[in-house]
Amino acid sequence: MPQSDHGIFLGESERAVEFLHRAPGRPLHLGILPGAFNPVTVAHLALAHAALARVDEVVFVLPRSFPHKELSGAALEARADLLLALAEGSASFSVACADGGLFIEIARECRAAYGGGVDLSILCGRDAAERIVYWDYGVPEAIDKMLEEFGLLVASRRGEYVAPPRLAHAIRRLELDGEFDHVSASEVRRQIAAGGAWQHLVPAAVCDRVWRLYR
């Protein structure tokens, strides 16, 4: 997650996420699940459901662009439709688009939308947590500054994540109901292209839509 503009670590965002669907009420603790969702998988959904034991609402956030990777596959609108189909089945799920692609940018856009006084936790797996914590941002103690604005709820992914002691106050373990190491959006796309079994990797509610998008 490189960021050349050191100013990202200063001040507040003037932008807010754009809601495609918003859960009723105002949460005291918000879980933020950012991703490309290309397509959404059962692992994403398990992460969101597990987080509801800790947070009041989970917002699935689709960044319009990513500073650290190029996307190919379904368009943003089509991926948003997959998430909306899942949100319809839960009063605690929201779906939004963000202009920023970094965790700190997404957290600040959520803060602008939800207001002060709401605790923010970003949901991720071990691999994403390691990237964000150990990335060289070019700014001393950048991750320490970011974790003053949001926390991390981290699920195991091919191993447990152990936070550095100085950051342990802001990083918590998230237990998933099941084993999802084999699940990824890229594996879904690979299996569809190869004519393999993929339906078990995506939520049943969006199976038909995924097939139409990625076949």
Render pLDDT for 35-62 as a digit per residue (tens, 0 to 9).
999 999 999 999 999 999 999 999 999 9
Domain membership of residue 131 (yes or no) is yes
Give how many domains the chain has, as a whole number.
1
Region 1-21: mean pLDDT is: 67
Question: Is 109 a domain residue?
Answer: yes
Query: Residue 159's pLDDT is what?
Result: 83
> What pLDDT does residue 69 have?
66
Residues 51 and 173 sit within 8 Å (Cβ to Cβ) = no
Residue 90, pLDDT above cutoff 70: yes
pLDDT in tens, 135-149: 888 888 999 999 999
Token pair recorded at residue 138: 């070019």
Give mean pLDDT, residues 105-131.
96
Q: How far apart, in Å, are the Cα atoms of 87 and each of 93, 104, 215? A: 5, 24, 24
Residue 19, domain extent: 6-180
Q: Does 188 fall in a domain?
A: no
**Region 191-199: what's the mean pLDDT?**
97
> Is 50 domain-assigned?
yes
Contacts of 173 (CB under 8 A, 6+ apart): 153, 154, 155, 156, 160, 161
What CATH number does the domain containing 82 carry?
Answer: 3.40.50.620
The tokens describing 145, both together, are 């500054």
**Whether residue 211 has pLDDT greater than 70:** yes
The whole-number pLDDT of residue 175 equals 94
Q: Report if residue 206 sits inside a domain.
A: no
- Asked whether residue 1 is assigned to any structural domain, the reply reads no
Residue whose tokens read 């597990």? 50
What pLDDT is recorded for position 196?
98
Residue 186 lies inside a defined structural domain of this protein? no
User: In this model, does residue 206 exceed pLDDT 60?
Assistant: yes
25: in domain: yes
The per-residue pLDDT for range 57-82, each reduced to its tens digit, is: 999 999 998 776 667 779 999 999 99
